[in-house]
Amino acid sequence: MNATFQSLILRLALSGLLGALIGLQLGNIWLGLCAALFGATVFFLRDFQRFYTWLSSGAGPEKPLLSTFWSNVRDQVVRIVRQHENEKTQLVADVEFFKDSFQALDSAVLVVDRSGEIDWANAAAEKMLGISLQRDSGEPLQNLLRAPAFLKYFESQKFDEPMLMRSPVDRSRQLEVQATVFREEYTLIFVRDITNYAQLERVRQDFVANVSHEMRTPLTVINGYLELLMDNKKELAEDVHAVLKKMLVQSRRMDDLVNDLLWLSRLESMPQPDRSEQFSLKGMLDGIIEDARVGSPSVTIELRIANDIFRDATVTPEQIQMHGAYEELRAAISNLVQNALKYTSADGHISIECSRYFNDFYLQVKDDGVGIDPVHLPRLTERFYRVDDSRTTDTGGTGLGLAIVKHVLKRHDARLRIRSKPGKGSTFTCVFPIASLSYTPLPASHQAGQATSGLRANGDPTAAI
Ligand code: ADP
């Protein structure tokens, strides 16, 4: 029991005792006691009413005159109110501090609420996007930023990757937009001006493309002469022939390198592939397998296409159409198959498997070859990254194959997943959105009895290795 309450009880007891004594003098102890307690209660209620009125009017600085008990309670309230006010002032100062720091940024920052209306924007948002907090607060962002790429990005609510757009204020400026959802209902949009970086990147791309292009002609000439010289094997001394052979191997490697570099720079500079282009998935894979068998006849290559890729129909592999740039996708999948051949023994086993996993289409290239140490997996798709230089030199690789695959897949909204265990083999999975596929309906008479392989999409197929 605290001191305030103890003193209240003591006062009541004293009042009661005094009343009882006066009652005893007057001949009725109970009447005296009741009268004293009644008086004390009236005083208590009067002070309570004063306290309550003061509290309801906002506990202002004008303090009411109260008994010890109620003045203690009042002082406690004043202390709590002051503490809250201090905390509030500190909080407001903190918010202002963060707002000021966001204001000082060169990058634009916008906060948008659940309904897409602008809640807050910094000064750079006006310079980069033409959005001013004073003028546009509460306006739907989609009404102010009407670039189709931005609208698609914002409405998709998939903010894993940033998107690029031109500044609506100055079309020469290139912007990078990254959105993040916070507190479940707000979206923070961070916009960076990357014009200088984009220019540097363009210079780099042009440089690589020009150098590769310029090297092509001399390399073709060198290759041609070397082949010509080697054709006259009889007239050459054995050691000269051996030297020429080595030179030809190296100049062909350089030729491959130049071709891969040109491929990469074309992929970087080309617009997004035309999704209306479509081709037979099985036709493409059969062609890739045929090419692979020519070079490695003893390796077993198997193709398996699941029959439940489409939910609304059982579809034969021949009916399945893939949407995207045929040349690019063929080159990418072919690269994976060629790698599988390169890093698998002559009597190895390779399988190409197509299946569905939720809303994704998985195209997997599996081998039982040498495998890759997991430490290399995160960097494997970097240009010129090699697990083992001697391995690559033996197989004649350029170190650009997987970088090309990654780029092609990105252009098709797909991604590459790699699982591998040294000595056990590797699985390269191209994960496409299921919308990359469609099927051509068959006449009703064809539909019964079409059997395909039994590969079913009842678990994550990438878990295979
Ligand atoms: P390269 O042209 O050198 O093969 P890639 O970019 O295609 O270049 O591959 C990068 C590296 O990944 C290769 O050097 C190789 O060590 C490794 N690699 C790629 N595919 C496989 C595979 N199926 N099995 C084992 N290692 C592989």
pLDDT tens figures, 184-233 = 899 999 999 999 999 998 898 899 889 998 998 999 999 999 999 888 87
Q: Which of 219, 247, 269 is the last residue of a domain?
A: 269
Q: What is the CATH number of the domain that holds 202?
A: 1.10.287.130
Question: Is 405 near ligand 1, meaning CB less than 6 Å away?
Answer: no
How many angstroms separate the CA atoms of 138 and 145, rounded?
A: 14
Question: Is 336 near ligand 1, meaning CB less than 6 Å away?
Answer: no
- Return the ligand 1 atom nearest residue 387 CA: 16
How many angstroms separate the CA atoms of 380 and 400, rounded?
A: 10
Region of poorest pLDDT, from 177-191, 317-331, 332-346, 384-398? 384-398
Residue 464 is predicted with a pLDDT of 47
One domain for residues 67 and 128:
no
One domain for residues 36 and 87:
yes
Q: Using the mean position of ligand 1's atoms as its centre, give its distance from the Cα of residue 260 in Å.
A: 14
Q: Is residue 456 part of a domain?
A: no
Say whether 436 sits in a helix, a strand or coil.
helix
The domain in which residue 265 lies consists of: 198-269
Average pLDDT over residues 119-131: 94
Q: Is residue 55 part of a domain?
A: yes
Q: Give nearest CA residue, ligand 1 atom 20.
A: 339
Q: Using the mean position of ligand 1's atoms as its centre, give its distance from the Cα of residue 13 in Å.
A: 93
Question: Is 436 near ligand 1, meaning CB less than 6 Å away?
Answer: no
Does position 456 have pLDDT exceeding 60, yes or no? no
Say whether 417 sits in a helix, a strand or coil.
strand
Q: Using the mean position of ligand 1's atoms as its centre, give its distance from the Cα of residue 281 in Å.
A: 24
Q: Give nearest CA residue, ligand 1 atom 4.
A: 397
Grade residue 317 by pLDDT with cuts at 50, 70 and 90: very high
Enter the pTM of the model: 0.68
- Return the ligand 1 atom nearest residue 385 CA: 10
Residue 321 is predicted with a pLDDT of 96
One domain for residues 354 and 414:
yes
Grade residue 457 by pLDDT with cuts at 50, 70 and 90: very low
One domain for residues 233 and 282:
no
Q: What is the CATH number of the domain that holds 138?
A: 3.30.450.20
Question: Is 387 near ligand 1, meaning CB less than 6 Å away?
Answer: yes
Question: Is 252 near ligand 1, meaning CB less than 6 Å away?
Answer: no
How many angstroms separate the CA atoms of 42 and 409, rounded?
A: 85
One domain for residues 391 and 348:
yes
| E-assigned strand segments in 282-391 | 300-305, 320-323, 349-357, 360-367
Q: Give nearest CA residue, ligand 1 atom 23.
A: 340
Q: Give nearest CA residue, ligand 1 atom 25.
A: 371
Q: Is residue 152 part of a domain?
A: yes
Q: Based on the structure, what is the number of domains in the chain?
A: 4
One domain for residues 282 and 384:
yes
* Percentage above 90 pLDDT, the chain: 60
Question: Is 392 near ligand 1, meaning CB less than 6 Å away?
Answer: yes
How many angstroms separate the CA atoms of 29 and 376, rounded?
A: 98
Q: Is residue 452 part of a domain?
A: no
Question: Is 368 near ligand 1, meaning CB less than 6 Å away?
Answer: no
Q: Give nearest CA residue, ligand 1 atom 14.
A: 386
Q: Which of 97, 130, 158 is the last residue of a domain?
A: 97
Question: Is 173 near ligand 1, meaning CB less than 6 Å away?
Answer: no
- Return the ligand 1 atom nearest residue 386 CA: 14
Q: Is residue 462 part of a domain?
A: no
Does position 460 have pLDDT exceeding 90, yes or no? no
One domain for residues 257 and 159:
no
One domain for residues 289 and 368:
yes
One domain for residues 291 and 344:
yes
The side-by-side arrangement of strands in the sheet containing 360-367 is: 300-305, 349-357, 360-367, 425-433, 415-421
- Return the ligand 1 atom nearest residue 365 CA: 23
Question: Is 380 near ligand 1, meaning CB less than 6 Å away?
Answer: yes
Question: Is 339 near ligand 1, meaning CB less than 6 Å away?
Answer: yes
Distances in Å between the Cα of 128 and the Cα atoms of 138, 144, 224 are 19, 12, 55
Q: Using the mean position of ligand 1's atoms as its centre, give its distance from the Cα of residue 404 in Å.
A: 12
- Return the ligand 1 atom nearest residue 398 CA: 2
Q: Which of 226, 244, 269 is the last residue of a domain?
A: 269
Characterize 29-61 residue by residue with b for buried, 16 or more Cβ atoms within 10 angstroms of its Cβ, and e for exposed.
eeebbebbeeebeeebeebeebbeebeeeebee
How many angstroms separate the CA atoms of 140 and 187, rounded?
A: 13
Q: Is residue 262 part of a domain?
A: yes
One domain for residues 375 and 442:
yes
Does position 5 have pLDDT exceeding 90, yes or no? no
Q: Is residue 380 part of a domain?
A: yes
One domain for residues 282 and 356:
yes
Question: Is 399 near ligand 1, meaning CB less than 6 Å away?
Answer: yes
One domain for residues 443 and 307:
yes
Q: Is residue 33 part of a domain?
A: yes
Q: Using the mean position of ligand 1's atoms as its centre, give its distance from the Cα of residue 337 in Å.
A: 11
